[in-house]
Structure 1
Amino acid sequence: MPHFRLHPAADVAPADLHAAFTTAFADYLIGPFRQPLELWPRFLARQGVDIGRSRVAVGDAGILAFALVAPRADVASWRLGVMGAVPAARGTGAAPALLDDFIARAKGEGQRRVELECFAQNERGLRLYRGRGFAGVAPLHGYGSEGVGPSGLASGAVPVGLDEAFAWIDGLARARGDLPLQVTSVSLRAQPMHLHAWRCNGAQVVAAGTAPDQVTVLSLLDTEPGQGGTPALIGALRQQWPEASLHVPQLQRDDLGGDALRRLGFQPLPLHQLLMHRPLA
C-alpha cells in the first residue's frame, strides 16, 4: 500500500505547499523557481489555480507531491496548472496517483477534457502524461530578439484598452478552444506589470516592460492570413520600446504568430513546451 494520502490543498498551510513547490522545482529544466512566499498567491493567480480543487499527497514526512488545478469554464476543461513531487517522493507513485485523481474528478464534474503544458525535453513527465492518454495539440515555443533590428512599420497597429483586449482574447479562446491559459485574460489580469495592447485587424499583442532593457510579449495571437498582423504589432513594440530586447515565453503557438516571428528574425529558445489535451469521454 502507498505510504501517502491525498488531501485538498486547502487543508495544508500555504507555507508548506510553497516549500514543497520550491523543493520539487529546485532541479527544473529551465532552472530553479525562486518564488518568495509573499508572492506565492500572485503566482497561483497567474496560473489560474483553484486551491479548493487542488490536491496534495501527504506522507509521514509531509507533502510529497501536489497537483494544482486551474478550471477553465470557458472551454469546459481543467488545466493541470502545476504538478510536482519532491525528489524523495519520485518513484513512490504519489504523482501518478494525483494525476489519476485529477482526471477522475474532472470527469466527475462534467468537464469535456483535461489539459496541461509540458516541456518537450521532460521525458519523465511526457511518459507519465502520455501513459494517461494525453496527446500533443501544438508545440509552444519561446523566442528572443537578439540580432533583430527595428522591424517593419507599425502601420495598421492601433492601441486598445486592456478590457477590450481581454474580451477579444476570451472570444478567440472560446471559439478555438486550444489557447494556453497563460495567454488569456485569466493569467494576464493577474500580472503585476503595467500592460500595453495593440491590435492589427485579426491580430493582437499584449506586452509589458519587465526590465529596463527587456519587453515581454505575454500574448501574441495572429489569425490574419499568413500571420500578416505580426510585423505591424512588433513594429508597435519597437516604437514603444526602441532600445529593449523582446522576449516571448514558451507559450507561443506557431500558427498564431510564431511562424511570423521566425520570419522577422526572432530566434527560438532552446527548450519548448507541448500543449497537451486528454478528452474525457
Structure 2
Amino acid sequence: MAPQRNVSAWRPRVPGVVEVFHAHFTEYAYPMHVHEAWTLLIVDDGAVRYDLDRHEHGTPHDTVSLLPPHVPHNGSPVGPRGFRKRVLYLDTTHLGDELIGAAVDGPDLRDPVLRRRVGQVHTALTLPGDELEAESRLTLIGERLRAHLRPRLAVGAPRRDPALARRVRELLDERLPRGVTLDEASSLVQAHPAHLVRAFSGAYGIAPHQYLMSRRVDRARRLLLAGRRPAEVAAETGFYDQAHLTRHFRRLMGVTPGRYGRGISRGRLGTSSEAG
C-alpha cells in the first residue's frame, strides 16, 4: 500500500489557538523537532509512538497527549495502518510555561471527559459561526489540563454565582444578532472565562453558546412564520450563513428552516430531508 499523507490545517478565529491540524499518515515518521506552542493531540484511529525528553510514550485512541513547547519530540505510527490524529496548537493563554515540567513528566492523560471535550472543540472549529462554542469548551479544557498538571491546586465543586449568570444572560440577550466572544464577555462582566461558563451552566443548565444559539433559532422561527426567506433570516439573526442557520435549526426543531416556514404557515409540519 502506498504511503498516505492526507492533511488539513488552518488558523481559526478563536483566541489562544495558533493552529488546527488534522492528518492521516500511514508510513510517515516525524523526525525530532520542537514547537513554540503547546501541542494537544488526540488519535482517532491507530496509535502514535513518540520520544519526549528521551522517554518513549504512546497515544492510544482513549488518551489525550499534551506536548509542551520548546521540548524536542518525534512521532511514528505503531502499526501498518498508520494513524489519524487531530491536533490543537495552543499559545500560553490557557497553559503557561510554568507547567512545562509537569507536562514533560506526564504527557499522556487517560481522561475520558477531557478526550470527549477535545473532540467537541475540533467539531466546533470545523463549523463556521461556532467560535463561541469552541472558546467555551476550550476554556474548560484548559482548566481540566491545569488540574492534571497541578493536582494539588485543582478546584472542587464550582461555586454558584447567580448574579454573574444573570449578567451573562443579559449580555447574550443584548448581543443576540451580533454575538460576543468569550474574552469580550469576560471583560464586560469582569469574571474569569472558566468561572463565567461554569456559573452560567450551573444556573441555567445550558452552556452560554447553547443559550445564544437557541435564542437565535427562536427569533428565526418568528421571522420564518412572517414569510421571510431563510437566507434573510440567517443574516438578521446572527448566523454565519444559511447553512449555519439550517444546522442549528434542524438540531433544535427537527426540520429545516424552509420546511418549518412553509409547513407551519399551512398548519401542517412534517419531517423532510430537503435543504433549508
TM-score, normalised on structure 2? 0.27
Structure showing the higher strand proportion among its residues: 1
Greater RCO (Cα-Cα under 8 Å, separation 6 or more): 1
Structure showing the higher helix proportion among its residues: 2
Which structure would you say has the larger Rg?
2
